[in-house]
Chain A
Amino acid sequence: MAPKESLVKMLGEERVIDDPKILASYAETRSFGPHFAPWLAVRPDGPEAVERLVGWANESRTPLVPVSSKGLKIRGDSVPSVPEAVVVDLSDMKKILSVNRQHRIAVVEPGVTYGELNAALAEENMVMPMSLRPKAGKSVMTDVLEGEPRLNPMVQWSYYDPLRCMEVTWGEGVRMFTGEAAAGARDLESQWADEKWQVNVAGPFMLDFYRVLTAAQGSMGIVTWASLKCAVKPLLHRMFVASANSLSELEGFVYRAMWTRFPDEIFIMNRSQLASLLGKTSGEIAVLKPLLPPWTVAVGVAGRELLPEERFEARSKDLTDIAQENGLDLRESIDSLDGDAVLREASSACVGTYWKDLWAGSSQSIFFVTQLERAPLFLKRVTELAESLSYPVGDIGVYIQPKHLGSAYHMEFTLPYDPDSARETRLAEELFDAASREIAGLGGYYSRPYGKWAGIQLNKDAQSLLALKRIQGIFDPNGIMNPGKLAAV
């Protein structure tokens, strides 16, 4: 039986897509890496269908590429890197399977967005901790699974918090739960009836299954639900800002603030990044940019159900003192820069044009993890490279986000360019390539090795690569899951 017919028989006519226009949309990405339109796309309606689909793919040796978010694929991780792939579009799986206030756990399917989840959580007086201004169509589950940095690193005891348990169909076709949920029956309803709420991410026994799936770009299996740790909704929530002329001036304050754990949110941006975050159009950004300080640290403080005013007052005053001790003036606003506006924009989903593209029409981001004290080194080198290539240095956005209680820092350079200008596109790509290599050489760590970074990063450590190959051989022995992404594997 021809592939399409066999898929139609398995999933139903309406769930198999061969419209060339729609298929082409799955390949729309600004990633500089190789990408192909899929052969077909399918929209399974649940985990059973996914399990059947993976079984079929193993028999027919057909590459599968899971996709959960809607809209432009910024990093290209969910765009096929090989021809004749089938995209597994999970974006219509939008059920919020459970919201448990007592344990602050929500269980969501892959297609659930931040907006949808937060609307449901609001009824239980909870919120989902955000990453920095995600696309409106961004899957919460994928965002967390891929390790997108959170604005609130103080509640990340695990590197991948708020990720907890999952249901996965591995590349070899076996469906199971992970973490605490794997120790019981493979049935959420019966687990809930037994008051088990998928709280603990680890194990369940000697093997940390969830770690096989994190930052995997869909190369190990297809996740069909995840439980996520939520936060109690703040009753008071404000953001404070402090400015500096150089990145180094902020270091002492951020280290000390991380030591205290007083901030709810904390991040650093340069003026280009902050202007892009706050401006609604390129014109607004142009007006705003010169008014902003060269560097800003933004610190959120919240008060929740338990003594909200007391917590807010103690933390905000202490953080103000700490800033002062480190030569900074932490305030609710600095001239035209309003801290609450920063909080509002940073922690809300982006509708319409992606915010990083507002300035020039498109952008590329280089991100990696490092330690804060090393950030100025990377900044200096990327600036030097940009200057040497005559790339407009003033356009480069910089965002630094503590992760995992401050153990690691996500550092991101945003390179805006006009996609309609061949020269600007070429220049951005040249800088992207050169800076990516240079950062790796200086010890920047691509923990999420998208696109070209896979080759750069994975080839740095032969033993880790060998171990990763062994792991992939166990969970996806036929190599059907999103092949070509972890290129060296």
Chain B
Amino acid sequence: MALEREAYRAIEDIVGKRNVSEDSSVTETYRCITSQSSAHYGPFNHQTPRPQAVVLPGSTEEVRQVIRICNRYGIQFKVASTFWAAMGYVGSDRAIQIDMVRMGGVRIDAKNMMAIVEPYAIGAVVQVEAMKFGLNCNMAGVGCSSSVLAGAAGWMGFGPSSLFMGIASENILGAEWVLPDGEILRTGSLGSDGSWFCGEGPGPSTRAVLRGWQGSTGAMGVCTRMAVRLHPWPGPKLIPTYGEVPSYKADGLENFRTYTLCFNEWEDYARAFQLFHEADVIYLGHRQFNMFGRDIKGAMLKILVDSGGQFSDLLPLMDDPYVKSENEKMKIDVQIVLAGLTERDLAYKEKAVDEVLRQTHGWKSEFMLDKEMRDFVLLYLLRLGRKNLNYTLCSSYEGNFGMSSNVFVAAPLMEEASALKRKWEQDTPHIAAVGGDSDMGSMSGIGGGGTTGWEFFVHFDAYDKDSIRGTKEFIDDSQRWMLSKGLGADMGRWNADARREDGYDYTQEEHDAIYKNLPQPAIFEYQWKVREAFNPRHLTGSYYRTKTPENVK
């Protein structure tokens, strides 16, 4: 349904003709296959709907005015910055896409350790600017090519640095937010006098309605600016690198140490995590390269570190006796980076890691102690700049399992989960056979430790309908297994209640049916009330999960 001419012209007047388009050659590019959504769906030809226009606002005021037009004409809108997966795209035929690409500002307040960012300031840029002042930012698992603000406002935002730096939502200070009704809310001290340092209060925090554990996924208006807390960076102003594309490696970061820690038993692994959560020694902690799969990660790393490495080398390398032997020793592993804020600090942290390994019968992988390997891993974890590798094996992947709430429960079940996935790898041709265990993710899902941020990578072929369908069937099975173990929703289903399989928003009736049997339905009923209060015309789609209260029905 095309927009009313009056509405379109009004938007043109606000942002300028150059910054709005309803040309199908433009709008068609703002669609996403629904299998990229933390709600793995098939078949391949299911895509998000085509927006009726794409709008590129250049300021908070322009955003506000565009949203007011949407309210006036009853047009849905969806905001996104760097468009990670289907959650950034519209869910109805009467909707516009707001693309924040024109707002990419970054300002560093070095003394007070914060960055004020606009939506299109990507992690790589914020990090580079911060490092000039001895500071660093939490780099969410989505990687440095994605928006810092969108990760913080819109999704979870954990990654290698979350244990030390906290996750994205914990790093939000003051925020400027255009609400779905077109009003501008500035949280905490920002609303009081324009200072960014505190995002809470006065009194109860209005930030409560802007995001919870789940981010707003663009379903609670548009966050236009935000202050994020920065953290110590004891390295140079610019990370020196060596090596050839794509095998960049960090060069000469003397006060950093990079290790892959290995364990015989998952119970020891969990215990080591507990000790690391209690002792402030880890700068970055991620089970990273197991994303390729237990059987092939060593060979993949050899390829990646060697600038002449080719993926055709994979099978020979997997048969290499040394690689094979070292890979086996890394069966249960995690990558860590220590950052010495002083020489003494580094020495203490080195000893602390050795003590944890002593107590948990663990060891440092020799294979990963090779200098070039260490330098590659260090740069990889610091920047998270290699998200292309998520897609390398089969052109696409989906996160599943996600056994993140309690490491002492999840870790002992890891072999059982891996066996389930291995069975699907062996019995069907739909997902890549990588050794079952492809669990990866953050050492902590919240600042200071307490949970993990894990997921299994399921590598599938996004251009093969059978592979997509087979992956869906596997995730159906892993969801059944998760529920049987009391582990909750499979990560591959986290957004299954946010967008229908056909790519469209759920209706309220459908959401009511989904949430009617929840153990504490008040959660979604209060979300319904919040939506009614702040988004009365329901313009932002069904990623904001709601259940109609019984007394309203």
Interface residues of A (CB under 8 A from B): 102-104, 147, 154-155, 157-161, 174, 176-177, 179-180, 182-186, 194-197, 199-200, 202-217, 219-220, 229, 232, 255, 258-262, 304-307, 310-311, 313-315, 317-318, 321, 369-371, 373, 404-408, 443, 445-449, 454, 457-458, 460-461, 463-464, 466-468, 470-475, 486, 489
Residues in B234-291 with C-beta less than 8 Å from chain A: 274-275, 278-280
Interface residues of B (CB under 8 A from A): 111-114, 134, 166-167, 169-170, 173, 179, 183-189, 191-193, 195, 197-209, 211-214, 216, 219-220, 229, 232, 274-275, 278-280, 341-342, 344-345, 347-348, 351-352, 355-356, 405-406, 408-409, 445-448, 450-451, 486, 488, 519-520, 522-524, 526-527, 529-530, 533-534, 544-545
Q: In the complex, A62 Cα to B229 Cα: how many Å?
A: 43
Q: Determine whether the beta carbon of B212 is less than 8 Å from that of A255.
A: no
Q: In the complex, A184 Cα to B208 Cα: how many Å?
A: 20
Q: Determine whether the beta carbon of A207 is less than 8 Å from that of B209.
A: yes
**Residues in B neighbouring A445, C-beta threshold 8 A:** 188-189, 192-193, 195, 198, 201-202
Q: Determine whether the beta carbon of B522 is less than 8 Å from that of A174.
A: yes
Q: Determine whether the beta carbon of B278 is less than 8 Å from that of A471.
A: no
**Residues in B neighbouring A219, C-beta threshold 8 A:** 203-204
- Find B408's partner among A176, A195, A373, A489 (CB 8 Å cutoff): A195
**Residues in A neighbouring B195, C-beta threshold 8 A:** 371, 443, 445
**Residues in B neighbouring A461, C-beta threshold 8 A:** 186, 191-192
Given the known interface contacts A216-B204, A307-B348, A449-B203, the answer about A205 and B527 at a Cβ–Cβ threshold of 8 Å is yes
Chain B residue nearest to A259 (CB atoms) is B232
Q: Determine whether the beta carbon of A204 is less than 8 Å from that of B451.
A: no
**Residues in B neighbouring A405, C-beta threshold 8 A:** 166, 229
A-B contact pairs, 6 of them (CB 8 A): A206-B219, A259-B232, A306-B355, A373-B112, A460-B191, A461-B186
Known: A147-B201, A448-B201. 11 other contacts (CB 8 A): A157-B167, A176-B520, A183-B488, A206-B211, A260-B345, A313-B344, A443-B193, A445-B195, A448-B203, A457-B202, A470-B534
The list of the 6 closest CB pairs from A to B, nearest first, reads: A157-B447, A203-B213, A211-B208, A203-B212, A447-B201, A157-B166
CB distance from B279 to the nearest CB of A (A): 4
**Residues in A neighbouring B179, C-beta threshold 8 A:** 467
Given the known interface contacts A207-B527, A407-B173, A457-B202, the answer about A199 and B450 at a Cβ–Cβ threshold of 8 Å is yes
- Find A310's partner among B201, B351, B529 (CB 8 Å cutoff): B351
Chain B residue nearest to A155 (CB atoms) is B448
Chain B residue nearest to A162 (CB atoms) is B448
CB distance from B405 to the nearest CB of A (A): 7
Q: In the complex, A102 Cα to B451 Cα: how many Å?
A: 12
Q: In the complex, A216 Cα to B279 Cα: how many Å?
A: 33
Q: In the complex, A145 Cα to B203 Cα: how many Å?
A: 11
- Find B279's partner among A206, A304, A373 (CB 8 Å cutoff): A304
**Residues in A neighbouring B170, C-beta threshold 8 A:** 157-158
CB distance from A50 to the nearest CB of B (A): 15
Q: Determine whether the beta carbon of A102 is less than 8 Å from that of B206.
A: no
Q: Determine whether the beta carbon of A220 is less than 8 Å from that of B189.
A: no
Given the known interface contacts A211-B207, A310-B352, A314-B344, the answer about A305 and B278 at a Cβ–Cβ threshold of 8 Å is yes
- Find A176's partner among B173, B275, B446, B523 (CB 8 Å cutoff): B523
Q: Determine whether the beta carbon of A202 is less than 8 Å from that of B213.
A: yes
Q: Determine whether the beta carbon of B206 is less than 8 Å from that of A467.
A: yes
Q: In the complex, A259 Cα to B520 Cα: how many Å?
A: 41
**Residues in B neighbouring A214, C-beta threshold 8 A:** 200-201, 204-205
**Residues in B neighbouring A212, C-beta threshold 8 A:** 204-205, 208
